[in-house]
Amino acid sequence: MTQKYFCQIDLNGEYDRSHEMTLQDLAVVQDLVRTHSAIVLETEKVYLVKSRLEPLAKSEGFVSLTELIQKLRQSPYGVLHKKVVEAMTTNETSFFRDLVPFEVLRKQLLPEIMARKATSKRLNMWCGASSSGQEPYSVMFTILEHLPELQNWVIQFIATDISEEMLAKCRAGTYSQLEVKRGLPASLLTRYFVKKGMGWQIREDIRRRIDFKRMNLAGPWITFPSMDLVFLRNVMIYFDMETKKQILGNIRKILNPNGYVLLGGSETTLNLDDKYERVDFSGTACYRVKKA
Ligand SMILES: C[S@@+](CC[C@H](N)C(=O)[O-])C[C@H]1O[C@@H](n2cnc3c(N)ncnc32)[C@H](O)[C@@H]1O
């Protein structure tokens, strides 16, 4: 097969061959990432592959990305492969991302669940792509700020992600000044964080309330209790149709019959799983399973 090169053209219009990547090398990364995370990397994403993996190659002591890929080819799945998969995940997130879903949570979803489960006083929630933790912590802040009666409930809040690096960040709950500036009201910073070096750390008593675990959404699932609320926001966009269908089917199995699933703003169950119906709460991507 003829090798094709993706080259970077520098500002003078000349090829910079040190950044080239062959289709074959790209295919190694595409296969690895798809097999171990279900993330689909289109060929046009070569720039992303290079920008994420070149720094990794350097920090792992390889002279080039080509050499790193050579190593991936030659050795069985191991730590380096895992690092490559993790490096190819997109971890973009922020506190109270998109805002409206958290308003809906506060005004509609949680009050309804609280009325329905007033006797058992048990609330189970799962955040399925927690990234660096801003999403699950925003859920906790919503409860602490607006629904203090939930503090007397038994809350089981599980947050998962495929990336160990992100999970370590979730557990530490430490954020830079820039991160806390993105979406977090100043009043919450004062109440729920303590100063830590140049940044901020979420109070230990709040961090303790979330159980952070590793889980590949496209791999074997951990055991979940029956869920009242599932947050699966801005992650299915990276997967193919089959994987999305499989994940939505798995969620139905763990969802309380009256439970809700919140997806990202550009995500839907439409044409993927017709057992869900959309619940129109202020235009959010909020779904529940249709009654039989
Ligand atoms: C763009 S972030 C979304 C974070 C958060 N849910 C939000 O909406 O702000 C996507 C997250 O999905 C995780 N992810 C990607 N593929 C995954 C998989 N197969 N299983 C579990 N998590 C995955 C990534 O590690 C990343 O942290």
pLDDT in tens, 85-101: 999 999 999 999 999 99
Residues 249 and 114 in one domain: yes
Question: Would you say residue 95 lies in a domain?
Answer: no
Average pLDDT over residues 106-116: 98
45 and 109 together in one domain: no
For residue range 153-197, what is the model confidence (pLDDT) as tens digits?
999 999 999 999 999 999 999 999 999 999 999 999 999 999 999
Q: Which residues pair with 157 in a beta bridge?
A: 125, 210
Q: Which two tokens stand for residue 182?
A: 């993105």
Query: Rounded to the nearest whole angstrom, what is the distance from the C-alpha of residue 129 to the centroid of ligand 1?
Result: 4
The enclosing domain of 147 has a CATH number of 3.40.50.150
Confidence bin at 20 (pLDDT 50/70/90): confident
CATH of the domain at 70: 1.10.155
Q: What are the structure tokens assigned to 187, written together?
A: 């009043």
Once rounded to an integer, what is the mean pLDDT over residues 61-82?
Answer: 97
Residue of minimum CA distance from atom 15 in ligand 1: 89
Q: Is the pTM above the cut of 0.85?
A: yes
Rounded Cα–Cα distance for residues 80 and 63 (Å): 15
Q: Are 275 and 268 in contact (CB under 8 A)?
A: no
Task: Please tell me the residue having the least CA distance from ligand 1 atom 3.
Answer: 234
User: Is 15:46 a contact under the CB 8 Å cutoff?
Assistant: no
Would the pLDDT of 224 be above 60? yes
If asked whether residues 66 and 190 sit together in one domain, one would say no
How far apart are alpha carbons 129 and 132 in whole angstroms? 9
Domain match, 72 and 137 both: no
In a domain, 208, yes or no: yes
73/119 same-domain check = no
pLDDT of residue 169: 98
What whole-number distance in Å separates Cα of residue 85 and Cα of residue 117? 40
Cα 207 to Cα 265: distance, rounded to the nearest angstrom: 27
Q: How would residue 17 be classed by pLDDT, with cut points 50, 70 and 90?
A: low
92 lines ligand 1 (CB under 6 A): yes
CA of 116 to the centre of ligand 1 (A): 31
State the distance from the centre of ligand 1 to the C-alpha of 237, rounded, in angstroms.
Answer: 10
Ligand 1 proximity of 37 Cβ (cutoff 6 Å): yes
Say yes or no: 164 and 241 in one domain.
yes
